[in-house]
Amino acid sequence: MHLGRTTLSKFLIQELDGRNESRDLAALLVDVASAIKAISAMTAKGALAGVLGSLDTENVQGEVQKKLDVLSNTAFVNTFQRGGLVAGIASEELDDPIAVACSKPCQFLAVFDPLDGSSNIDVNVSVGSIFSILPSPKGREPVLQDYLQSGRQQLAAGYALYGPSTMLVLTVGRGTHGFTLDREVGNFILTHPNIQIPIETSEFAINTSNERFWEPPVQRYVAECKAGKTDVRGRDFNMRWIASMVAEVHRILMRGGIFMYPKDTKDLTKPGRLRLMYEANPMGMVVEQAGGVATTGRKRILDVLPDQLHQRIAVILGSRDEVERLERYHQEYDTGVDQRYSSPLFKERSLFQ
Ligand code: AFP
């Protein structure tokens, strides 16, 4: 037994004291944590629990669902339905939002990606869950339009990382804080209070197999990082790619770095790979609350007004200096200042944000 440590519940009581709304938000985040504990237990058992592998079904994105995608989604849905604290839920694994019966007038909507990075499940590499809590309309059942709020409206956001240890990292708009699951006791313990992303970094993360599809500002940035000491950056960079956004963002929170899944021309119907409402927005809030920056390259993620629940978006986030440099490269490209990386496709550049 570990006495005197700050559990998640104690932290939330201290952080969200006062108004009824705050008390309900604290209770809701405790519910989120209990879904995360259930998913953590399933992922930890892996093949022993028979939860690896794919199903015959596809989600709304047309992606084949893994067994753990569906089980994790069920863990969240059941928790929110039994908890009675949200008026509605939306998930990467559900085509449409679900209205939830509330025990009293509910003030929240929960939006989540139950298991991000699921291509990593079968090879036993870290995966995670991502969640976003939004205000619900008062006095009526929410409709689809009510979910389409910008990231600035989020009341809380965070993620769970199922790695060597399970961590919950969250923000309620007053800094970003990390908790580690003490498995024997079943409590999340505050281990990383007030996380600050280092402003400078020499580490970048991008899937370079997509290089030929990137826009010139991203090609310029990555080329300069790779040239290291021999070019304008004057120092060498290192690269990482886990293909699990949660693990990538967590590394950046711990030691700095820049993560990019930029707009590309691989599939012109998709203005990016990642989903705005349950990947980019919550991660954007977590990163900004830790002193970092989250942008499309042309607009801060949290300022984007969604027009679809499952919409995709370009994401560049992490250490302030590097992300701002890449924003500048986009601006120089868009205004034609950067001749080296200017393109004859100039007029097509602003098709997507
Ligand atoms: P899923 O939500 O389908 O598991 O995808 C996860 C993800 O969107 C994100 O975690 C990674 O950054 C990205 O996939 C990696 O995908 P690539 O295979 O395109 O590098």
Whether residues 264 and 288 fall in one domain:
yes
Whether residues 181 and 304 fall in one domain:
no
| C-alpha to C-alpha distance for 195 and 318, rounded to whole angstroms | 13
Whether residues 37 and 143 fall in one domain:
yes
Whether residues 254 and 299 fall in one domain:
yes
Whose CA is closest to atom 5 on ligand 1?
117
The encoded tokens of residue 164 equal 């060597």
pLDDT at 325 over 70: yes
Which atom from ligand 1 is nearest to the alpha carbon of 274? Answer: 8
Phi (first) and psi of residue 191, to 5 degrees? -120, -20
Q: In this structure, what CATH number is given to the domain that contains residue 125?
A: 3.30.540.10
Q: 313 alpha carbon to ligand 1 midpoint, in Å? A: 13
Residues 6+ apart with CB under 8 A from 23: 16
Beta carbons of 173 and 134 less than 8 angstroms apart? no
Q: What are the pocket residues of ligand 1 if the criterion is a CB atom closer than 6 Å to any ligand atom?
A: 63, 113, 116-119, 207, 243-245, 261, 273-274
pLDDT at 138 over 70: yes
- Whether residue 258 is contained in a domain is answered as yes
E-assigned strand segments in 211-297: 238-239, 258-261, 274-275, 293-295
Side chain identity, residue 244:
S
pLDDT at 20 over 70: no
- The edge-to-edge listing of strands for the beta sheet with 238-239 is 238-239, 203-205, 258-261, 315-318, 293-295
Of 171, 192, 213, the residue at which a domain comes to its end is 192
User: Of the ranges 6-10, 16-20, 155-159, 318-322, which one carries the lowest mean pLDDT score?
Assistant: 16-20
pLDDT level of residue 238 (50, 70, 90 thresholds): very high
Q: 187 alpha carbon to ligand 1 midpoint, in Å? A: 29
Q: 3-state class of 234 per DSSP?
A: coil
Q: Is 333 left (phi over 0), alpha (psi -120 to 50) or beta?
A: alpha
Residue 132's closest CA among 252, 308, 353, 280? 280
Q: 4 alpha carbon to ligand 1 midpoint, in Å? A: 39
β-pairing verdict for 176-182 and 187-192: antiparallel
Mutate to test the pocket of ligand 1, among 126, 274, 310 (most ligand atoms within 8 A of CB): 274
Give the relative orientation of helices 320-334 and 216-227 as an angle to the nearest 10 degrees: 130
Whether residues 176 and 79 fall in one domain:
yes
Whether residues 175 and 232 fall in one domain:
no
Which atom from ligand 1 is nearest to the alpha carbon of 210? Answer: 19
Residue 309's closest CA among 276, 334, 282? 276
At 253-305, the pLDDT tens digits run 999 999 999 999 998 888 899 999 999 999 999 999 999 999 999 999 999 99
Whether residues 282 and 218 fall in one domain:
yes
- Whether residue 323 is contained in a domain is answered as yes
**DSSP, res 69:** H
Give the structural domain span for 304.
203-337
At 206-231, the pLDDT tens digits run 999 999 999 999 999 999 999 999 99
| Confidence at residue 338, expressed as pLDDT on a 0 to 100 scale | 72
Residue 195's closest CA among 324, 67, 285? 285
Whether residues 175 and 207 fall in one domain:
no
CA distances from 12 to 7, 33, 243 (A): 9, 12, 31
Beta carbons of 243 and 122 less than 8 angstroms apart? no
At 61-83, the pLDDT tens digits run 777 677 888 999 999 999 999 99
Residue 114's closest CA among 79, 75, 151, 66? 75
Q: 207 alpha carbon to ligand 1 midpoint, in Å? A: 10
| C-alpha to C-alpha distance for 133 and 138, rounded to whole angstroms | 15
Whether residues 136 and 234 fall in one domain:
no
Q: What angle do CA 120, 124, 125 make, to 5 degrees?
A: 55
Beta carbons of 43 and 127 less than 8 angstroms apart? yes
- Whether residue 250 is contained in a domain is answered as yes
Of 143, 170, 192, the residue at which a domain comes to its end is 192
Residue 298's closest CA among 269, 265, 324? 324
Name the one residue in this structure whose structure tokens are 């085509």: 95
Residue 281's closest CA among 315, 247, 244? 315
Computed over every residue of the chain, the mean pLDDT equals: 91
Domain count across the chain: 2
At 240-258, the pLDDT tens digits run 999 999 999 999 999 999 9
- What are the beta bridge partners of residue 312? 275
Side chain identity, residue 142:
P
| Confidence at residue 17, expressed as pLDDT on a 0 to 100 scale | 76
Whether residues 43 and 126 fall in one domain:
yes
| C-alpha to C-alpha distance for 259 and 97, rounded to whole angstroms | 29
Beta carbons of 238 and 271 less than 8 angstroms apart? no
At 337-347, the pLDDT tens digits run 876 665 555 44
Whether residues 59 and 176 fall in one domain:
yes
Q: In this structure, what CATH number is given to the domain that contains residue 296?
A: 3.40.190.80
Taking the CB of residue 343, how many other CB atoms lie within 10 A of it?
12
Q: 10 alpha carbon to ligand 1 midpoint, in Å? A: 34
Beta carbons of 162 and 135 less than 8 angstroms apart? no
pLDDT level of residue 351 (50, 70, 90 thresholds): very low
Q: What average pLDDT score do residues 29-39 get?
A: 98
Model's pTM, two decimal places? Answer: 0.93
